[in-house]
């Protein structure tokens, strides 16, 4: 088995076993870039239970997730195995209420009041 296959399998396994996964630079407790920090901040604030994957700790996963999603940047958010997007998309979805709708549709628990607070603060 090649390392590329191993990274792809690891990614597939992670997004299959966890309802919400954020591939990011750093960790949810200590993000290592502004974009990762913004998305982790939204998820943390909304009380979403998610798995963080630090792409800086594994170069194969760092490249592998870009190949897996055919998306060139990090962070990348997955909900119930579905690629949602990166920082700009997640930010737009949060502000428009689409992220709430996605979480509702997929049965992901989050604090709707906190989501409303984010929208109110950015109105």
pLDDT in tens, 42-63: 999 999 999 999 999 999 999 9
Range of the structural domain that residue 47 is part of: 3-121
113 pLDDT above the threshold of 90: yes
Residues at the annotated binding site? 33
- Is the CB of residue 79 less than 8 Å from the CB of residue 51? no
Q: Indicate the pTM of the whole model.
A: 0.94
Q: What is the CATH number of the domain that holds 70?
A: 3.40.30.10
Q: Angle, to 10 degrees, between the axis of helix 3-17 and the axis of helix 59-69? A: 70
User: Contact 74/12 with Cβ under 8 angstroms?
Assistant: no
Count of domains forming the chain:
1
The helix (run of H) or strand (run of E) holding residue 43 is helix 34-45
Which residue positions form the known binding site for [2Fe-2S] cluster?
A: 33
Phi, psi (deg, nearest 5) at residue 67? -70, -40
Q: Is 96 helix (H, G, I), strand (E, B) or coil?
A: helix
């Amino acid at each position: 088995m090649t390392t590329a296959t191993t990274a792809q399998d690891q990614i597939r396994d992670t997004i299959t076993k966890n309802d919400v996964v954020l591939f990011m630079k750093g960790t949810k407790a200590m993000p290592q870039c502004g974009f990762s920090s913004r998305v982790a901040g939204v998820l943390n604030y909304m009380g979403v239970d998610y798995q963080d994957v630090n792409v800086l700790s594994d170069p194969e996963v760092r490249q592998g997730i870009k190949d897996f999603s055919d998306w060139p940047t990090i962070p990348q958010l997955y909900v119930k195995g579905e690629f949602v997007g990166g920082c700009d998309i997640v930010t737009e979805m949060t502000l428009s209420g689409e992220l709430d709708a996605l979480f509702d549709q997929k049965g992901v628990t989050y604090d709707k009041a906190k989501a409303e607070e984010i929208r109110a603060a950015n109105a």
